[in-house]
Amino acid sequence: MNLENNTWFINQIPALTIAETYGTPLYVYDGDKIISQYQRLKKAFTGIDFKIKYACKANNNINILKLLNAEGCGLDTVSIQEVYLGIKAGYAVNNILYTPNCVSIEEIKYKQDI
């Protein structure tokens, strides 16, 4: 988002135009900015064998998850619902890290049987 001549722009589109078109309140995400920040982080670790995993709990908007998946980003989840959302967003199951809080193995097995 940038300010030019007292007008706020989001990716070269006036914020007021976006609000008038889609109404308010409204969340607007800049996919180009998300990708550039992901690439910037990835570049910071050039030469190291690693995998970035996006924390789904930070923002589980399926379009953001799809965008990051297309860039090769993995997914960090803490609930079975987040795992399902990741799969729905196109993540391969081996690219989803599942680290539940306060969930026993028995509960996980029970949910798998449902």
Half-sphere CA count of 27, side-chain side, radius 13 A: 6
Domains of the chain by residue range: 1-48, 51-114
For 48-68, how does the pLDDT look when each residue is reduced to its tens digit (9 = 90+)?
999 999 999 999 999 999 999
The C-alpha torsion from 68 through 57 and 61 to 63, rounded to 10°, is 10
- Rounded to whole angstroms, the Cα distance separating 94 from 48 reads 20
Distance between CA 9 and CA 23 in Å, rounded? 16
pLDDT surpasses 70 at 75: yes
Q: What pTM was computed for the model?
A: 0.79
Please report which confidence band the pLDDT of residue 111 belongs to, taking 50, 70 and 90 as the band edges: low
Q: Round to whole Å and give the CA distance between 61 and 20.
A: 22
What average pLDDT does this structure show over 27-52?
94
Amino acid present at 89: A
